[in-house]
Every structure is written in structure tokens, then in C-alpha cells.
């Protein structure tokens, strides 16, 4: 991580400041979600969604949320799909709710994909990338991250 940050800093193009302690949100596979052709039609509801706000809600209380991960592209070299963490959803979201969300947000999904994936969030973890130390993230750690 330090090597990557040094390269970015030395390039002169990007000013990067990453705190040594990060909040990680572990996930466990829950199920596949079938994608439909109509998801790629432009919707009049299409809008930008502040994804970071949703992820902070999850960090605050992960139990009532699941993660929708969408297939971004197929990697021909590895023969596997690359997924992107699209958006946290309430665990109570119905198929209709998920469908409305997919049709109403601007997020890249490979049109050849047949499924998205749903994951359940675990407890947030506090990770110091300099020392490698990891522990459960107490509430005040999440508040500190939001403030920075």
C-alpha cells in the first residue's frame, strides 16, 4: 500500500492522503440474483446515487443490510467475472425493490451477465494497513472515519 501511495504522490498528478486505519466491511455470499434484459434499457428514473452514504449506514449497523454486487466485466484471461460492490440494500428488500433499484441507478453492469450476487455483511473491522493489525471496529472508530 505504501508503495502505491508513493507512486501516486510522486507522479504529481494526484494528491492522496489515506489514514493508516481503515474500516473494512466483510461479506459472505448469500445468493445469485437473475438479471433481465430490461435492466439495460434507459429508465426515466435513472439517477446518480450517493453510494458512500449507504456504505456508512452499513458500517454503523450491518445487520439489516445485504450487498448487491454487479458483474462489471468478464476477464478472459482468468475465465471469471469481475464483480463490483454496487450498493447496500435492506435485508427486507423484495425482488421488486431490487429490480426498481437496478433500473434506476447508473452503475456499470456487463450486458452479457446472467446474474448479480447478494452478500450478507459481517461485523465491521478496523484494519491498520501499516501494521497489519485487525480488530472489531468500535462505534467511535467509525465516527472518526466519517469525520476524516
Contact by Cβ (8 Å): 21, 134 = no
Q: How far apart are the first and last CA of the chain?
A: 19
Give 74 or 63, the one with higher predicted confidence. Answer: 74
Nearest to 83 by CA among 50, 53, 102, 109: 109
How confident is the model over 33-44, as a mean pLDDT? Answer: 69
Taking only the tens place, the pLDDT of each residue in 72-103 is 888 899 998 888 777 888 888 898 888 887 77
Q: For the chain, what percent of residues have pLDDT higher than 70?
A: 66
Q: d(Cα 8, Cα 70) in Å, to the nearest integer?
A: 28
Q: Is the dihedral of CA 93, 55, 71, 126 positive or negative?
A: negative
Contact by Cβ (8 Å): 39, 28 = no
Taking only the tens place, the pLDDT of each residue in 40-58 is 655 444 455 566 676 767 7
pTM of structure? 0.68
Amino acid at each position: 500500500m505504501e508503495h502505491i501511495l508513493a507512486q501516486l504522490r510522486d507522479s504529481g498528478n494526484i494528491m492522496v492522503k489515506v489514514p493508516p486505519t481503515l474500516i473494512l466491511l466483510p461479506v459472505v455470499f448469500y445468493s445469485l440474483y437473475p438479471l433481465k434484459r430490461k435492466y439495460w434499457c434507459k429508465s426515466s428514473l435513472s439517477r446518480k446515487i450517493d453510494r458512500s452514504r449507504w456504505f456508512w449506514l452499513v458500517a454503523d449497523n450491518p445487520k439489516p443490510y445485504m450487498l448487491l454486487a454487479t458483474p462489471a466485466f468478464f476477464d478472459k484471461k482468468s475465465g471469471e467475472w469481475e464483480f463490483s460492490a454496487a450498493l447496500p440494500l435492506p435485508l427486507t428488500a423484495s425482488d421488486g425493490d431490487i429490480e426498481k433499484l437496478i433500473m434506476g441507478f447508473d452503475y456499470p453492469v456487463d450486458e452479457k451477465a446472467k446474474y448479480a450476487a447478494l452478500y450478507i455483511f459481517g461485523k465491521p473491522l478496523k484494519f491498520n494497513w501499516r501494521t497489519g493489525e485487525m480488530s472489531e471496529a468500535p462505534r467511535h472508530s467509525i465516527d472518526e472515519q466519517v469525520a476524516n
